[in-house]
Amino acid sequence: MELFTHRETDPAAVSGRPGLPLSGRRVVIQPNMSRRGWPCNAGSRALENYTALEDAAIIPRLEKSGAHLAGNSRMSELGFGLSADTTVQALIEKEADIALMTDTMGEARVAAARAGIFGFKPSWGIVSRFGLIGLVPSMECYGVAAADPADISGVMQAISGKDDRDFSMPDGELPDFSQEGKTKTGSRRAGIVKEMLSLLTDKDRGLFRENLKMLGSAGVEVVEVTFPEFELLQTAHQVIAAAEASSSAGKYDGVRYGYRAPGAKNWNDMYLDSRGAAFGTLVKAFLFQGAYFQFENYAAFENACRVRRRLVRSMENLLSELDLLVSPTCRMVRKDAAPSDVRGAYEEFILTLPANLTGQPALQVPGDPAGDCVGLHLTAKRLDDSRLLALGRRLAASRGAK
């Protein structure tokens, strides 16, 4: 299977600009990140033959930092899950150094964990989503995967920051990544959520304890904490994300762009035929769930929103007493076949999706190089992105020294 759906061939663009923080770094992006003139179908037939009209906010920022945009990888339909994704594969095959991936449930971090590299999801709202063809606006963000955490910092320094075209960005000061290399991480306390542990098999737990030694040798104290509503994180994520996805995908009607089914007798049939043929099974199932909560069970949606607000508070309270939460990034045991149902898709991200629901930054740190792929998942306070990445660098350095 082709790794790239589009490759940059313009020699001027390929060389990138010298002498800048990301000079010489090749970045692979996904075809839902608008790059003027590149095919931009978000992995869906709904956007068949669609070409981006203008650059996403991150594109000129990356270019200004000297990065070379290598091309578009394959992605799962509308960025939901990892079933068809080849973005990190481009890094494994040395075709790129840094991957930008849509992270809605934890896609960037889980893909990085499987590849044994670093994966980062910034605090919600610190990178302009202008030009990102998204699905779940209140949770999705640009995730970054790279073998070297310094590359992640470099990308974050380039792409984060205010943009007056994305009004959903928070007021006030955003994280400063420019000083990150010098940031003192200090003594830190990390909490393990007791309720999370019960989701792991003995084998997962064993690997997790092995990986935790990394933190110990970096001077991070690990304590056990409780998050009684931990299981609700997934439910709330699923209900709200499905409803938002249903709204976001409402624009794919075949009227203005994308796939339009031929031969319909009236506009209603045209809608049904076009949408029926445009979406794959998994996305369709997800949109159905969303439409169910919108049209048939709005009370459940409202409930999920209330629960979410409570979970955000719980998470913030936990993190006010700690510096980090720590868990594996994913579980060891997983089915070989790509999940074809929504529940199966969610199962893969059960440990990463809390940060998407409640908005914190989170970092996947590769585990023991001897070969497990569960990784260590660190969640920090909102907007504490820079310190989290600094810790990631220290962990990488100590790993390298071993």
Could you tell me which stretch among 65-73, 290-298, 313-321, 352-360 binds other proteins (CB under 8 A)?
290-298
Asked if 23 is part of the footprint of other proteins (rule: CB under 8 A), the reply reads no
> Quick one: which of 212, 271, 285, 338 contacts other proteins (CB under 8 A)?
271
Nearer to other proteins, 64 or 165 (CB): 165
* 335: phi then psi, degrees, rounded to nearest 5: -65, 150
Task: Report which of 85, 91, 75 is spatially closest to residue 25, judged by C-alpha positions.
Answer: 91
CB of 166 to other proteins, least distance (A): 6
Regarding 295 and contact with other proteins (CB under 8 A), the answer is yes
Q: Is 172 in the site for other proteins (CB under 8 A)?
A: no
Please pick, from the candidates 194, 198, 267, 317, the single residue that binds other proteins as defined by CB under 8 A: 267
Nearer to other proteins among residue 130 and residue 279 (C-beta): 130
CB of 86 to other proteins, least distance (A): 21
CA 379 – CA 368 distance, rounded (Å): 19
User: Residue from 162, 203, 251, 343 that binds other proteins (CB under 8 A)?
Assistant: 251
In the complex with other proteins, the residue whose CB is nearer, 292 or 332, is: 292
CB 249 within 8 A of CB 137: no
Partners of 141 in the β-ladder: 103
| Residue 164: count of CB within 10 angstroms of its CB | 9
- Are residues 399 and 370 in contact, defined by beta-carbon separation less than 8 angstroms? no
Edge-to-edge strand list for the sheet holding 188-193 = 4-7, 68-73, 26-29, 98-103, 141-146, 118-121, 362-365, 376-380, 324-328, 188-193, 220-225
Check if the beta carbon of residue 331 is closer than 8 Å to that of residue 358: no
Applying CB under 8 A, among 199, 305, 312, 338 the residue interacting with other proteins is: 305
Nearer to other proteins, 132 or 351 (CB): 132
Q: For other proteins, give the closer residue by CB, 82 or 133.
A: 133
Pick out residues in 217-246 that bind other proteins (CB under 8 A): 243-244, 246
Task: Choose, by CB under 8 A, the member of 17, 199, 264, 294 that binds other proteins.
Answer: 294
Binding-site string for other proteins from residue 38 to residue 77, where x marks contact by CB under 8 A and - marks none: --x-x----x--x-xxx-x---------------------
Stretch of residues binding other proteins (CB under 8 A), selected from 110-118, 130-138, 314-322, 346-354? 130-138
- 301: contact with other proteins by CB under 8 A: yes
The site for other proteins (CB under 8 A) is made up of: 32, 34, 40, 42, 47, 50, 52-54, 56, 129-133, 137-138, 164-168, 243-244, 246-247, 249-251, 253, 255-257, 267, 271, 294-295, 298, 301, 305
